[in-house]
Structure formats: C-alpha cells, structure tokens
C-alpha cells in the first residue's frame, strides 16, 4: 500500500519537478516519518515549487513564511488580542498552523524568532500566552537557507539543526533536464493544474504502517554502531545524538517501505546515513581549516563500520 501510494505521489510531483527522483523519494521519506527537512541551496533551484507540489499532491494545507531579520515570533506562531466587541481575548493563528510549512531563508531571522519553531517541530504544538494549541497532522516544516550568501544571516543553533530529520541539496539540473524544464513551462505552469493524489488520512495511515517495517537485531545494532562511531572520531567535537540514531532507524524503515519491502537491509541504512547524520556533526575548527567536511567523515564511518553478515530477510 505504501509503495503504491508513494509511486502516485512521486509521479504527480514529477509533473512539475523535472528529474530529482532521489530528492523526491527523500521528501517522501520525511513525509512517512513526519520529519522536517532542511534544504540548503542557491535561489532559483525549485525549493518552493517542490514544497508546493508536495503539499498539493497530499491535499495538505500549505503556508510559506518568509524569514527576515524583523520577523517576530508572534508573526510565526500567532498572537492573542483583545476583541473589544466581545470583551474577551481571542487567538489569531499564525502561519505555523498548517500541515506543510515552508520556512524560507530560515537563517535570516533572529535567534529569538528561530526558536519559535523549536516547540512546534518537536512537540507538534505551540504555546502562546500560556495557552497551548495543537498543530494539524501531519505537520512538516520544510526550511531553506542559502549556503553562499552569509551577510545578514544568523546560523541555526545545534538544538534546532538536530530537529531536522534530513538535510538536502537539490543541485543544478543537467542540460537535458533544463531543456525539458523550458518545454514543460513554455505555455503554462503545471503547478497550477496539479491535483491531489492522496490525502492527510492516507498519509497518517502510511506513517502508522511504516512503524511496522521489520528491523532485525543485527541491522539495529549496525545503526547504533554508526551513530556511536560519530562520537568516537577525533575530528568530531559533537557526535550524533540519540535523536539522530532514532532518525536513521525511522528513515531506513521508510526507505524500505518505499521500495516495497517490509524489512530493512543494511544498504538502506548506508543510503540514508549521509542525509540524516551529516548536519548533526560538529567538526573541530582545526579540522575544518584543513578542508575536512562532515560528509567525508560520515562516508568514512559508513565504510569502516562492519556490515551485518546475516540476512535481514529471515
């Protein structure tokens, strides 16, 4: 059921997005895990279009928040105001109360405003003036930031980065893909006519089913070994947290389900590790000066941690 519905969603998104099949699959992994995604790439690559296509395909409510230095926390969560006609306080919800939220250029907002997302991303609720409001489900934050332009930006704190399930980069299209893009958008914007192929209830049911994907003890220990290895490397000042270990576990289940399997194999873990673990590592500054990058460290760990030898299919 999961693979069939995911295939329809993937095909629908590809009516708008040219290529990027692996990125779309990783976005579907985030949907199945109800996890948040940090997309780092230059402007004009299609980040907003991808988010809108995903929301329309799932028939989920979508809101976009443009993060700027003058954005206030109340601009994100909402505000309580006194209604003089009714002589009582009322809550005016902010854009965070949507199922899919695009936090555009999240690193341009001040740390105070960035922190307004912390409770929402982890607890799926917001607190305004001591009142707690649950967020609609599924709830997914798709945040973007430009890795090139750093002037006027505020780096995300480690606590917030750790709340993102995946970090992705779309990258430039190939020459063939860019040519196909021109043809596709020649007369009309396909996003305007995109229709839903699933709904929120189906998404929630798929999320429940993903939890039943089998992970053998040997594969589970393999995941733990990879996570613990990040804490033992000399180049790493801060290794992967237990939240990161759980993220690798959940995403491996989702990746297996997308492939039509009800069990996880070590290759699923190896495939997801760079997207789940890289942004959670804090590299020693001296190591960074030597040009050593987090993704290289993760790749080295995955290559050196012994792979389980027994079959996961039994």
Residue 179's pLDDT is what?
93
Residue 163's pLDDT is what?
92
- Among 150-159, 161-170, 295-304, the range scoring the smallest mean pLDDT is 150-159
**Per DSSP, what are the bridge partners of residue 64?**
102
Sign of CA dihedral 19, 23, 25, 31: negative
Q: Residue 269: which of 223, 209, 212, 213 has the closest Cα?
A: 223
SS3 content of the chain, % helix, strand, coil (to 5): 45, 15, 35
Question: Does pLDDT of 95 surpass 90?
Answer: yes
Question: Does pLDDT of 314 surpass 50?
Answer: no
- In this predicted model, what pLDDT tens digit does every residue of 207-235 receive, in sequence order? 999 999 999 999 999 999 999 999 888 88
Q: What is the mean pLDDT of residues 64-76?
A: 91
Question: Does pLDDT of 282 surpass 50?
Answer: yes
DSSP states along 263-302: B--HHHHHHHHHHHHGGG-EE-HHHHHTT--HHHHHHHHH
pLDDT grade for 311, boundaries at 50, 70 and 90: low
17 by DSSP, 3-state: which? coil
Question: Does pLDDT of 146 surpass 90?
Answer: no
Backbone angles phi, psi at 193, to 5 degrees: -105, 5
Residue 61's pLDDT is what?
93
Question: Does pLDDT of 269 surpass 90?
Answer: yes
Counting Cα atoms < 13 Å in the Cβ hemisphere of 165 gives 27
Question: Does pLDDT of 37 surpass 80?
Answer: yes
Q: Where in the chain is the domain with CATH 3.40.50.300?
A: 2-205
Can you tell me the distance from the alpha carbon of 261 to that of 242, in angstroms, rounded to the nearest whole number?
Answer: 26
Can you tell me the distance from the alpha carbon of 267 to that of 116, in angstroms, rounded to the nearest whole number?
Answer: 37
pLDDT grade for 89, boundaries at 50, 70 and 90: confident
Q: Where in the chain is the domain with CATH 1.10.8.80?
A: 211-304
Q: H or E segment at 141?
A: strand 140-145
Q: What is the mean pLDDT of residues 76-84?
A: 85
Q: H or E segment at 6?
A: helix 2-13
Q: What is the mean pLDDT of residues 78-97?
A: 84
Q: What is the mean pLDDT of residues 142-164?
A: 82
Can you tell me the distance from the alpha carbon of 299 to that of 118, in angstroms, rounded to the nearest whole number?
Answer: 29
138: left (phi over 0), alpha (psi -120 to 50) or beta: beta
For the domain made up of 211-304, the CATH class stated in words is: mainly alpha
Sign of CA dihedral 214, 216, 220, 222: negative
Question: Does pLDDT of 150 surpass 70?
Answer: no
Does the predicted TM-score (pTM) go above 0.95? Answer: no
288: Cβ contacts below 8 Å, ≥ 6 apart: none
The CATH number for 2-205, chosen from 3.40.50.300, 3.40.640.10, 3.30.565.10, 3.40.50.360, is 3.40.50.300
Question: Does pLDDT of 258 surpass 60?
Answer: yes
Residue 41's pLDDT is what?
83
Question: Does pLDDT of 280 surpass 70?
Answer: yes
Alpha carbon distance, N-terminus to C-terminus of the chain: 22
Backbone angles phi, psi at 145, to 5 degrees: -150, 150
pLDDT grade for 248, boundaries at 50, 70 and 90: very high
């Amino acid at each position: 059921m999961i693979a069939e519905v995911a295939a329809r969603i993937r095909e629908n998104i590809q009516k708008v997005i040219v290529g990027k099949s692996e990125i779309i699959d990783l976005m579907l992994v985030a949907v199945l895990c109800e996890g948040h995604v940090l997309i780092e790439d230059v402007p004009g690559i299609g980040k907003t279009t991808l988010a809108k296509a995903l929301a329309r395909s799932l028939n989920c409510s979508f809101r976009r928040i443009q993060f700027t230095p003058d954005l206030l926390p109340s601009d994100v969560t909402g505000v309580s105001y006194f209604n003089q006609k009714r002589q009582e306080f009322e809550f005016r919800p902010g854009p965070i109360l949507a199922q899919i939220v695009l936090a555009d250029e999240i690193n341009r907002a001040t740390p105070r405003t960035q922190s307004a997302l912390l409770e929402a991303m982890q607890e799926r609720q917001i607190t305004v003036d001591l009142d707690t409001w649950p967020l609609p489900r599924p709830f997914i934050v798709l945040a973007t930031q430009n890795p090139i332009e750093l002037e006027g930006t505020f780096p995300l704190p480690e606590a917030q980065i750790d709340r993102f399930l995946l970090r992705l980069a779309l990258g430039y299209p190939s020459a063939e893909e860019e040519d196909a893009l021109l043809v596709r958008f020649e007369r009309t914007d396909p996003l305007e006519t995109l229709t839903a192929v699933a709904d929120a209830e189906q998404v929630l049911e798929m999320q429940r089913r993903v939890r039943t994907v089998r992970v053998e003890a040997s594969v589970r220990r393999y995941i733990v070994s990879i996570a613990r290895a990040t804490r033992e490397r000399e180049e790493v000042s801060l290794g992967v947290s237990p939240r990161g270990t759980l993220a690798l576990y959940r995403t491996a289940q989702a990746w297996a389900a997308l492939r039509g399997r009800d069990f996880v194999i070590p290759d699923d873990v190896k495939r997801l590790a760079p997207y789940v673990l890289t942004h959670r590592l804090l590299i020693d500054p001296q190591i960074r000066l030597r040009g050593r990058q987090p993704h290289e460290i993760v790749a080295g760990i995955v290559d050196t941690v012994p792979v389980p030898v027994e079959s996961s299919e039994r």
